[in-house]
Amino acid sequence: MIRSLIFHPSTFILLVFLGLTHLRADEIVPEEIDLPNLITLALQRDFQIRIVQTDKEIAAQNLKGSRGYWDPAVSATHSSGSLGGGGGATSSFNSQEGEVTSASIYQNVPTGGRLTLDAAAGRFENNFGSPDTYATNAGIALYQPLLKNFGAASRSFIKIAQRNYEQSEQSFRLQAITTVTDAITLYNQTALRKDSLRVAEQSRELASQLVADTRKRAELGTIEVRGVEVAETRLAQREANVVLQRRLYLDTLNELKRFVSNEALALVKWKVEIGPMPAPQEWSGDLNQDFEYALQNRPDYQQALIQIEKAIIDERTAVSGTLPELDLNARAFRTNFSDSFTSSYKGISSTETDLFVGVTFSRPILNRTASAERASARLFKDRAHLVEQQLQQAIAIQLDNAARRIESEAQSRELARQGREFAERSLEAEERKLNLGQSTTFFVLEAQEDLTAAQVRELEAIANYNIAVARYHQVKGSTLQNQAIDL
């Protein structure tokens, strides 16, 4: 299905590098804000996008922290008194009085195990006044799960942290799209209020001029005094409408200032005017192509796909959790004893290597906890797929609805334009008839008000069309590309 509407394009290119800093608004807000200014300021200043940016930075730090799993670790100890039997290098020494200094460095390995290099040196007291004994020990140890927690299952939390960061990036992109769309909507609404005020002021001026002309005719006796009273009543009504439209414009302008402000009371004092309403953009849509584009670019859909990946990772971890614990412990080491530290250290290279290998096995008898976690993980994965399918359906419906809204607003705009042109011709005709004495002030006033209403309807139609196009790009996920914004 292909939809195409061609209007005069009014496009701009905006390159935004988001430096989300606490800048003072009165230092950067221009006296007149056009749409590119508003979008730039909104992306810099909107509280919600700054919150999401902070969430992204938190996720980045969490990912960085999870990768600390690969960081080597060093430990060192010094003990005195009754020694030995404590594990590692010191476990090679028998328990007796003395002092031992040991050091080790270990590194987690991709298979889920841990590799350790250790060394120790000790001095041991002998009985009956014999000289002390010095010993040096060095070895390499491996701890390796063979079933449960083997391989990728042991570092699934790193993959989850990576996916969480990717989701935070999509959340930031989603908020940027929302902020830009809200900025376009608010700008068009504010521009509409400003133009409505302008139309109301023009209508008041027309009524004021007609009152003056009617008074002259009444003084000449060509019309009744009643015509002056009718014109003055309508002038008062239009003056009241100007007051109303000015209040509505200033209210909307304050909302716009709040949207791009970090200040509180200071924003009320800003003297800012809104620029002109953007001319309608060229729009064309193909439901099939735009649907595929949305699946590739909509942040919420990308988040759903990432959620599926997370569910798959969790399921694999849960499956690993149902396996028995079968762990390998191995250590190869050398130990040398001598009557001095130097000789014990130098002689270690010529001593024989001892090897220790052990296997431990453990499994809950019923294993109900792990089984339930595995079943739950599979259900979460199925649920993630259902959410993704539901979102696909929603995207298709949203695109179709948004496209039909654009078509409807385009038709309304064309009809409003025709209505405004007809109202202009009608007013011109009534003014000619009044000058010829073939009409009355009342009918001219009615024609003026018809024109005012037609002008406002056309302005509303333009604003609604612009907003509808912005909403379509939001649904499609093309807002940033359409506005040439690079995050």
Q: Mean pLDDT across the stretch 249-267?
A: 79
Q: How long a stretch of residues is the chain?
A: 487
* Per-residue pLDDT, 434: 87
pLDDT at 4 over 80: no
In this structure, what are the phi and psi dihedrals at residue 438, rounded to the nearest 5 degrees? Answer: -105, 5
Task: In whole angstroms, give the CA distance from residue 100 to residue 84.
Answer: 9
pLDDT at 95 over 80: no
What is the per-residue pLDDT across 15-43, written as a single tens digit (0 to 9) for each?
344 443 433 444 455 678 889 989 988 89
Q: Mean pLDDT across the stretch 203-211?
A: 93
The percent of residues above 90 in pLDDT, for the chain, comes to 64
What is the per-residue pLDDT across 381-425, written as a single tens digit (0 to 9) for each?
999 999 999 999 999 999 999 999 999 999 999 999 999 999 999
Q: Find out whether 41 and 29 touch, Cβ atoms under 8 Å.
A: yes
- Which has the minimum average pLDDT: 5-9, 202-206, 222-226? 5-9
pLDDT classification of 216: cutoffs 50, 70, 90 = confident
In the numeric block, which tokens belong to residue 116? 């350790």
Q: Which of 162, 156, 164 is nearest to 314 (CA)?
A: 156
- Which has the minimum average pLDDT: 194-203, 248-257, 407-416? 248-257
Q: Find out whether 7 and 281 touch, Cβ atoms under 8 Å.
A: yes
pTM of the predicted protein model: 0.82
Name the region of 483 (left: φ>0; alpha: ψ -120 to 50; beta: rest).
Answer: alpha
What is the H or E stretch that residue 335 is in?
A: strand 325-338
3-state secondary structure of 166: helix
* Per-residue pLDDT, 399: 96
The DSSP secondary-structure symbol of 127 reads: S
In the numeric block, which tokens belong to residue 120? 């120790």
DSSP character string of 212-269? HHHHHHHHHTSS-HHHHHHHHHHHHHHHHHHHHHHHHHHHHHHHHHHHT-S-SGGGGG
pLDDT at 270 over 90: no
pLDDT classification of 129: cutoffs 50, 70, 90 = low
* Per-residue pLDDT, 29: 55
Q: Mean pLDDT across the stretch 428-457?
A: 92
Q: Which of 360, 345, 396, 442 is nearest to 134 (CA)?
A: 345
Long-range contacts of 316-321 (CB under 8 A, 24+ apart): 316/152, 316/153, 316/156, 317/153, 317/156, 317/377, 318/370, 318/373, 318/374, 318/376, 318/377, 318/378, 319/374, 319/377, 320/148, 320/149, 320/150, 320/153, 321/148, 321/153, 321/370, 321/373, 321/374
What is the per-residue pLDDT across 55-76, written as a single tens digit (0 to 9) for each?
999 999 999 999 999 999 999 9
pLDDT classification of 229: cutoffs 50, 70, 90 = confident
pLDDT classification of 10: cutoffs 50, 70, 90 = very low
Q: Find out whether 454 and 196 touch, Cβ atoms under 8 Å.
A: no
The CATH homologous superfamily to which domain 2-65+158-309+379-482 belongs is Outer membrane efflux proteins (OEP) (1.20.1600.10)
pLDDT classification of 300: cutoffs 50, 70, 90 = very high
pLDDT classification of 222: cutoffs 50, 70, 90 = low
pLDDT classification of 258: cutoffs 50, 70, 90 = confident
- Which has the minimum average pLDDT: 241-245, 263-267, 305-309? 263-267
The percent of residues above 70 in pLDDT, for the chain, comes to 88
* Per-residue pLDDT, 332: 95
Q: Find out whether 166 and 306 touch, Cβ atoms under 8 Å.
A: yes
209: CB partners within 8 A, 6+ apart: none
Task: In whole angstroms, give the CA distance from residue 395 to residue 485.
Answer: 23
* Per-residue pLDDT, 466: 96
Range with top average pLDDT, 3-12, 93-102, 117-126, 240-249: 240-249
pLDDT at 365 over 50: yes
* Per-residue pLDDT, 176: 95
* Per-residue pLDDT, 14: 40
In the numeric block, which tokens belong to residue 268? 């009320």
Task: In whole angstroms, give the CA distance from residue 461 to residue 411.
Answer: 9
Give the residue extent of every domain in the chain.
2-65+158-309+379-482, 82-108+113-148+325-362
Q: What is the mean pLDDT of the chain?
A: 87
- Which has the minimum average pLDDT: 5-14, 52-61, 233-242? 5-14
